Amino acid sequence: MIIAFDIDDTLIIPSVANWLSIDTPNYETISIYNWFKAQWHTMCVWSWGWVDYARHWADKLWLEPDFILHKEKSENVDICFDDCDVDLAKTNIRVKRLNNQISRKEWNKHNPE
């Protein structure tokens, strides 16, 4: 199966949502990613923004995905994990967005996603 994970608010917690000055790994979601990877599934990370942005975080988090893509609907992706309600894969799973009450509007101006 092909499993895709979003970056912002899925694999990382934005600095605006964690009260730190840096974006931090979302270890709970990363553990799910690692479980699927350990089962030999084809792994993908993607972003609405730049592919380079997704590559940066994949490298920084040591994810070693099989694919790094621009996030878009794909009939080839079996499962998609995202912090938003999306229709991008055969099965779409919404993960909990931490501190959802905090606006990401200003943060998103400086980030591609």
For 44-69, the pLDDT digits (tens) are 999 887 899 899 999 999 999 999 99
| C-alpha radius of gyration, the chain, whole number | 13
- Judge if pTM exceeds 0.95: no
H or E element at residue 17: helix 15-18
Beta carbons of 112 and 47 less than 8 angstroms apart: yes
Mind spelling out the 3-state secondary structure of 25-61? ECHHHHHHHHHHHHCCCEEEEEECCCHHHHHHHHHHC
* Amino acid at residue number 103: S
| pLDDT for position 47 | 87
